[in-house]
Amino acid sequence: MNAQMKPATLASVAHDIEAKIAHRSAVVAVVGLGAVGGVTAQLMAAAGFSTIGIDRSVERVKALRSELTVDNIRITNEASAVAQADVIVIAVRVAASASGAELGALRAALRSVQQFAQRPALLLIESTVPAGSSRELANEYFGAGSLQAALTCHCPERLRVGDGIPELRATPRLVGGLSAYGTALGVRFLEQLGIRGVATSGPEITELAKLTENTFLTTGIALMGEITRIAHRLGVSAHEVATAAATKPHGYYPFLPGAGVGGHCLMNDLALLQQTAREMLIDTPLLAGVHEAADALSETVVRKLEALLDEHGVLLEQSAICLVGVGFKPDCADVANTPALHLTRELRARGARVVYADSLVEQFEVDGHPLERHEGSHTFEHVDALVLVSGDRNFDLEDARSRVHVILDAGGSRVMPAAARLASPL
């Protein structure tokens, strides 16, 4: 692993791996089988590669074994299985924290490659990391100038929760290697998966590009939150403002009013970008403002809800509120950092009772306290307002309207066809 790199030797190793990739004889190991890694492993196997999925979680391994829909894939807890691989994909999650990026899972994956890999492999790091991390960690674990470091690339995932193999293949991927050989090999491998690979000059480009992509989305959502507050002060619909702006065919990316920023990535990646800047002693007032504006989104919804209740002579402090759809986005059972969490905290702090309705989420709790689940509109006689958070296409909104006077659309109407004429837009 730590043999000093010689151009001819690197070329020979890269040529051998490329030949195996071209003939589909390369063995691929995917380390980390969460939302990204699980789909990635199935993509590799579907493309004809013998695939090994590796995850430390016994429960996750059992679940994936029962869910597999493709052949030639083996799921295991054994990190030593990377010894058989010609291509290694690391898809572990890196979370931002107050003390910096939590790189423990990524370090453990790289340590397993260092410890068990019997030959240099094409190593693709899919994890979103602070800029500069891939090169620094590859040099730390494999040695600067080593063959394995030279064959290490950052190739960030661009997966949306709920995406499958067709969506993965339709989305171009960035490749930034520590060497030109690594980058070219990474692009060649993606081509064999049916994915267009985009070569860059190094991992710092791909790391910063991925953080830019997600921070752009977070910024747009936060901006729409600011516009929503201004629209409410003017007494107009923020949804109509957003729809009007979206008619411009160039120079504008449409964002609609919503209840907040949810999911694993957006706020996390904003924090990782802020960390990168802090480490370089760069002040980023715009990013700080985005973070602050995004945090205020749930408060905006609560204020609008309070105003609507007041029109019906109901105090928020004495009301019962039902959140419709508590996944972090429409048609999603994932409640990671869902806006419904923050809304529930805001509403509880104001003295309101909060329940929820979601056909995809059987149990939902906030800060250790479960919310009562309503499974039919007939149960809404004692509910004062509905808030369409992520929405639920199986929810009978028209029937609920006859029982609940206040219905606030905080973005969930996208999956509820009747919502536009039944709900007050945010």
Task: State the pLDDT confidence band at 1, using cuts at 50, 70 and 90.
Answer: very low
Set out the domains of the chain in order of their start, with CATH numbers. Answer: 7-201 (3.40.50.720), 216-425 (3.40.50.720)
- Given a cut of 70, whether residue 420 has pLDDT beyond it is no
153 Cβ contact list (under 8 Å, min separation 6): 122, 123, 124, 125, 134, 175, 176, 177, 178, 182, 183, 185, 186, 203
Task: State the pLDDT confidence band at 3, using cuts at 50, 70 and 90.
Answer: very low
Per-residue model confidence (pLDDT) at position 377: 60
Tokens of 104: 């423990």
Instruction: Collapse the DSSP code of 337 into the 3-class scheme (helix H, G, I; strand E, B; otherwise coil) and give the result.
Output: coil
The secondary element (H helix, E strand) that includes residue 214 is: helix 203-234
- Given a cut of 90, whether residue 170 has pLDDT beyond it is yes
Task: State the pLDDT confidence band at 378, using cuts at 50, 70 and 90.
Answer: low
- Given a cut of 90, whether residue 99 has pLDDT beyond it is no
Place of tokens 């040099």: 139
DSSP letter string, 10-29 = HHHHHHHHHHHHHTT--EEE
- Given a cut of 50, whether residue 307 has pLDDT beyond it is yes
36 Cβ contact list (under 8 Å, min separation 6): 91, 93, 126, 157, 159
- Given a cut of 90, whether residue 13 has pLDDT beyond it is yes
Q: φ, ψ for residue 386 (rounded to 5)?
A: -110, 140
What pLDDT digit, counting tens, does each position of 229-288 carry? 999 999 999 999 999 999 999 999 999 999 999 888 999 999 999 999 999 999 999 999
pTM for the model stands at 0.90
Share the mean pLDDT of the chain: 92
Min mean pLDDT across 77-91, 181-195, 203-217, 393-407 is at: 393-407
Per-residue model confidence (pLDDT) at position 90: 98
Min mean pLDDT across 183-187, 383-387, 419-423 is at: 419-423
Min mean pLDDT across 1-15, 96-110, 281-295 is at: 1-15
User: How many helical (H) and strand (E) elements, i.e. helices and strands, does the chain have?
Assistant: 16, 18
Average pLDDT over residues 136-154: 97
Please state, for a pLDDT cut of 90, what percent of the chain lies above it.
80
Per-residue model confidence (pLDDT) at position 157: 95
Per-residue model confidence (pLDDT) at position 70: 73
Task: State the pLDDT confidence band at 313, using cuts at 50, 70 and 90.
Answer: very high
- Given a cut of 50, whether residue 409 has pLDDT beyond it is yes
Task: State the pLDDT confidence band at 32, using cuts at 50, 70 and 90.
Answer: very high
Tokens of 41: 């492993």
Place of tokens 């107050």: 98
- Given a cut of 90, whether residue 16 has pLDDT beyond it is yes
136 Cβ contact list (under 8 Å, min separation 6): none
What pLDDT digit, counting tens, does each position of 325-372 carry? 999 988 889 998 999 999 999 999 999 999 999 999 999 999 999 999
Per-residue model confidence (pLDDT) at position 129: 96
